[in-house]
Amino acid sequence: MPSDRGALTTAPAWRLAELIRRREVSPVEVLDAHVARLDAVEPHLNAVVAERLDDARREAHAAEARARVSADPASLPPLLGVPCTIKDFLAVRGLPWTAGLHARAAVRADDDAAVVTRLRAAGAIIVAKTNVPEGGMWMETSNPLHGRTRNPWDPARTPGGSSGGEAALVAAGASPLGLGSDIAGSIRIPAGMCGVIGHKPTELLVPNTGHWGASTGEAERMLCTGPLTRCVRDAELVLELIAGPDGASRTTRTLAPREPALDAGDLRGVTVVPLLATGRIRIAPVMRAAVARSRPAARPAATSTPRPGSGCSAAASRPGWARWPAPAPPTPTTSPPARRARSPTC
């Protein structure tokens, strides 16, 4: 793979890590490509609330040295040298931790959130923290402290919220992966609005230690930290890295082992549920039509495809995702593309 910046800022995180382990590309090159892209798109997006570029470059040089002297590339951390960004609700040591609130304008985190610690241990390099709505209370990303974040496909539109800064940067090619959080759609809504992969994990699977706004009781069960990525394979990789008890929160679940059949694309035993109505929320006709069109694709592989809206529960042997083939999308600019792109094939 050529190490030109355009190729590096469209490659999935797993591929970047693979190239770094093989010493086919330097972590410094990967970081510089994403920082250059960030510099190009940030004036149009306003998605970043804090950067740590000097520290990130030092870490990239250290990752390069580690990869260079390793006798066994397979033993290196799974995300060694891969840049990432973090939603401002999650603590990153030494960086502002504002949650979009004027009252927290001077607050800096003393420690990393548990999920940030786990990403660092996996070799990821944190480049920046990203914007959120004020206190996470809105479905768009805007606050009086940091301003309004825009959608990279069309700056006149919102990227959604509350993980809107993360989704915007991942969609724009400025970050290969990021961490967001979700109670009622705060990962899923911006992922859908920006055309990236976003996953809200199962309750109590990923620790919320170091997340702003300590939750207790049922609220803690509803709050889930999860990945926003360029492709499904990256989301699965990140989830495997951040899941599991940390000893400080109520997180009690562990991620089940991979199923070889599912990894090989065998979906027998998986029930696919096309949901065309919820009975409570209006679903736009274009979205209903898209779900209906996708239904025949699931029939040959899945055990069953219930009638849309039948109220069935999706069942699978482990949390996971089907790998639907799709062409690589164009890189968003400040102008909307001619047609909506899909997530790249992993």
CB 21 within 8 A of CB 78: no
Enter the DSSP assignment of 136.
G
Of 26, 163, 186, 343, which one is the catalytic site residue? 186
Q: How far apart are alpha carbons 57 and 188 in whole angstroms?
A: 31
CB 41 within 8 A of CB 152: yes
Which residues are paired to 108 by β-bridges?
96
Enter the DSSP assignment of 152.
T
Q: How far apart are alpha carbons 206 and 223 in whole angstroms?
A: 9
DSSP 191-244: HHHHT-EE--PPTTSS--TTBSS---HHHHHH-EEEEEESSHHHHHHHHHHH-S
Is 215 one of the catalytic residues?
A: no
Which residues are paired to 198 by β-bridges?
228
Provide the 10 A C-beta neighbour count for residue 54.
Answer: 8
Q: Look at residues 112, 128, 142 and name the one whose alpha carbon lies nearest to residue 49.
A: 128
DSSP 244-288: S--SSSS----PPPPPHHHHTT--TTPBP------SSS---HHHH
Which residues are paired to 86 by β-bridges?
129, 179
Burial of 218 by CB count in 10 Å (0-12 exposed, 13-18 middle, 19+ buried)? exposed
Taken in order 110, 252, 122, 344, the sign of the CA dihedral is negative
> Who's near 306: CB < 8 A, 6+ residues apart?
271, 273, 274, 312
Enter the DSSP assignment of 144.
T
> Who's near 219: CB < 8 A, 6+ residues apart?
183
Of 87, 163, 181, 343, which one is the catalytic site residue? 87
Looking at residue 343, its amino acid is S
Of 26, 129, 142, 162, which one is the catalytic site residue? 162
Q: How far apart are alpha carbons 181 and 328 in whole angstroms?
A: 26
Is 175 one of the catalytic residues?
A: no
Looking at residue 110, its amino acid is D
Is 87 one of the catalytic residues?
A: yes
Active site residues: 87, 162, 186
